[in-house]
Structure 1
Amino acid sequence: MARTPDPLPQRDDPVIKLARFLRVTQSDASTITESMTLKKISQMSGVSEGSLSKAHNGDPRVSWRTVEGWIRACNGDLMTARRLWNKVSELQEEETPADAAALQARAFGYWERTRGRAVVPGLETETQFLLALTALRKYTGMSLRELSQATERIGVPYSRATLGAVLAGERAMSFEHLAAVLAGCGVPVRQQQGWARTFASLDPARDVRTGWNPRSLRRSRLVEPAGEQAGDIVSSLARTRFAYVLERALTEEDVTIKEFAARAKLDMPLVDRLFAGKFLPAHMLSRASEAAVGASPRTRRELTVLAQTLVRSPTPEEQREWGRFCRESGTAEPWAG
């Protein structure tokens, strides 16, 4: 069934004029026997139905790629469309800087307070979501080139031009794009899920269950911002394995991260370190292992064995990284135990 467009507001600003023009072009391209549906325009233009729907419903962040694809598919007046879109673009340039600056300040403050990189609360539109992702890239100190290099290292390569177009709203973002950006920026897997749920909620046509596969992202858990030195990335195969098995335990029990953290008596920054495969004192690993009470016997035995193998003195690199973390987070913990 074809989508029914929403009624447009009774005003004559550039955004509504462009939306009306798109609807007229669509109507003119339809015949008595065959309607020019959004699905057909999408197939002919390569633009997602979601982006097309937003365009003809008056989304002020409509990209020229979306408009051009629509007009070419409907054999419409490209020059008129460009003139109307230029007016919308000028309006965006007048409004976006202040909005972007305010959202970036809010995002930076939130990440500083939480010492994490979770999705910023209160994102209501895809425009705000993209601004938050751009703020995340800046917060981690990564240029588009560095982000592109990070996505290549984790096995989901995207060019700098592609990432720039996606983050600017000039190209529709997919779950694959989102996964690459988040992993490239070093967002922990459990926090990536929050970003994915927010992204899915902004468009009913998206389905987080079919478009998001966290299992494939586990390879990227240890990726950190490219601006940090390689020596800062301290992990080991045993710690990474412990994190993997612990994640399996939580999945088997279907327990939330917060419930697990409360059981293990670990603050969330420490839980992030745990799932990133970084150094934690042995007594913390033991508490984490014991907190997986609802996992299968096999998983619990594996956690116990792994926790015992990690009872050792930290390496010099782990000492430096752990000490820096303790100073920055205000955590007072011994090296081992």
Structure 2
Amino acid sequence: MHYITSYIKTMKNPFWVDVLAAWDRPGQASNQNRCDTISSIPPGVNASLGLNSFYSKYTHAYNIPVLGSSSVSDQALKRACYVVSFMLADRPELRQAMYAKYGRVAIMATHEVTRDIPEHSSLPESYNTRARGLGGTLRVPVSTGAEENVLCLSSDRYYMDDILVHELAHGIHLISLKTAVADFHRRLTNAFNCARKRSLWTNTYANVNVNEYFAEGTQSFFNVQRINNNVDTRDKLASHDPALYNLLSEVFPCENNIVDRCDDQGLIASQLPRMDCQVTTSAETYEDKNRHCRYWARTGECVKNPLYMLPNCALSCLRCKS
């Protein structure tokens, strides 16, 4: 395994990225964190992940690494670790999937840019100016954020957004849920399509695609959404888009609350997340079960043949509007 993971430091060929992804990381996620301690990279972590020498600082939540270069402040890494510890507290299988698929979090220092992150070094140069964080995927399992945003510094040009919560939400969706909950993405897509039919998120980032629908909804669920359609709290989300709220309640059943990055960080010391809560699978959202549904709906079959159409072509027949 060390022989294979040592390639990560310089590997850019997608073929080898896929080969590596076929092996799970040795070991297990834990139910503990060491967010209050920043150290050098432990040899075992370096060996299993094949980390680039760019990284020199380390902490972890549940054995999920939180990383930075020597330029990143300890305070930023501790805050990032806190976020990871709360967003992965709810379900042990999601923690294990994140661990097994080499999931990790990295923080950019205020003067660093996206392409300084070794895993993102092959991205187009435009990412250096447009992005201060990216979500992890199974192929590139690092979710990133920026020090100025994590610490709510005055230099943060995205001060209205909690970038790390948003990008880690992508990682949980595209790494943990895709690995551990086989039908989740399908149900999420159904909810997204229904929300679009109902124009719930028109002119917001949540309306772009199903991945942003999940990540933006997660920000609202954790009460750190400040710019999206006034749906900026958990309660408002439950009222505005119950299908998305129910799906997020399935991912985060403990319903923990995160101390806002711009609030008194002293509150973190006395706050522990609830862990490993009972999961209630949300009710099935409306979908089309036949590839011809849209055509049939346009030709009036929802009215002519409701016994078949309403249960099998619910989305095209606009049942989700009810």
Query: How high is the TM-score relative to the length of structure 2?
Result: 0.29
Which has the higher Rg, Structure 1 or Structure 2? 1
Structure with more helix by fraction: 1
Query: How high is the TM-score relative to the length of structure 1?
Result: 0.28
Q: Select the structure with the greater relative contact order (CA < 8 A; seq sep ≥ 6).
A: 2
Structure with more strand by fraction: 2
